Amino acid sequence: MYVNVRTVGKNMDGKWKGIALIAAFAAWSAPASSVPDLGQDKMLIVQMWLARQGFSPGALDGIMGTRTKGALRAYQQRENLRPIDELDPKLHDRFYAEPMFTNYTVTGEDTARLSPVPETWLAKSHRERLDYETVLELVAEKSWSHTNLITRLNPDIDWTNVTAGTEIKVPHVVPPVVPGKAAFVKIFLSERMIQAFDEQTNLLVHFPCSVAASMDKRPNGELRVETMVSNPNYTFNPEVFPESAEGRQLGRKLLIPPGPNNPVGTVWIGLDRPGYGIHGTPRPEAVGRAETHGCFRLANWNAELLVKLLAIGTPVYVEP
């Protein structure tokens, strides 16, 4: 894949869009399995820049995998980019003048909120909140990152004993500014992605998502947003989890408390088909897989952005 520098220059408000896409092209040819050099990590730069534009690669990990390629393709499609055969190394060098990283200082409030998440549904239902289990998990989510990236950035930290005042190097993420509300949403099942569009059909945001593993649990056609809840509870229904021995033994529903480790994460966007919705997840690094029971799962930070763009009644078109 190539990037048209001349087209970028015409379409963009500032110089950094073209600069970042140059870096994207340079990173594209790197093997997905390669271990990135965090001093000159082109792939991480691409991911961070795309995320700042609202084109999420999922959890930042410095690897040019399927989700990052999908975000890059979506951005290039929106900008009508065409291939060229030359790259300007001067532009690529300038990109590194922008800060990639910052330090997160662990607070007493951070450490006080940590709590192990019980394994059973019954034990979960007895908690007041399903919060972060570790500082590593908390910091990774706040910086939209995979925990593996955070540990690679901080090789000297003992993650079993992180105290208040500890400084942790993290990606410098900036929430995207989206120029308007969504007129409709499209969910592409085969590509496992969610995109929101404005009234002129301009692409606003792009997110990787998880879908149901079973084809017969994947809805198709037009749905609509029916409810939107931040920091939701979750109702465990044994009928939805026939594979759960605990559920069969309980034989009753349980109310699971809110928190980032709630089964639906920090956001629930209910659709007008009973039991179906778009929601967050306690495992952002797994987003993009076919694994859920039918809902559409996003990283919490992406679900939190999407819900701000929607209204009750917003159409959601589910395509194969």
Question: Is beta strand 211-212 parallel, antiparallel or unpaired with respect to 101-105?
Answer: unpaired
Distance of alpha carbon 34 from alpha carbon 30, whole angstroms: 7
Which whole-number Å values give the CA distances from 148 to 107, 154, 306, in the listed order? 22, 10, 26
- Average pLDDT score over residue span 161-172: 97
Question: For 221-238, what is each residue's pLDDT tens digit?
Answer: 899 999 999 999 999 999
Q: Which residue in 39, 7, 3 sits closest to 24, CA to CA?
A: 3
User: Is the pLDDT assigned to residue 249 strictly greater than 70?
Assistant: yes
More confident residue, 251 or 213: 251
**Predicted local distance difference test score (pLDDT) of residue 97:** 54
Class of domain 184-231+266-319: mainly beta
User: Is the pLDDT assigned to residue 8 strictly greater than 50?
Assistant: no
- Average pLDDT score over residue span 282-300: 87
Q: Taking the domains of the chain in order of start, what are their residue ranges?
A: 5-95, 101-171, 184-231+266-319
User: Is the pLDDT assigned to residue 165 strictly greater than 50?
Assistant: yes
Question: For 276-288, what is each residue's pLDDT tens digit?
Answer: 999 999 999 999 8
What percent of the chain has a predicted confidence (pLDDT) above 70? 80
CATH superfamily of the domain spanning 101-171: LysM domain (3.10.350.10)
Q: Rounded to an integer, what is the distance from CA 137 to the centroid of its chain?
A: 14
What is the token pair recorded at 80?
Answer: 């009508």
Question: For 170-218, what is each residue's pLDDT tens digit?
Answer: 999 989 999 899 999 999 999 999 999 999 999 999 999 999 777 666 7
**Predicted local distance difference test score (pLDDT) of residue 46:** 81
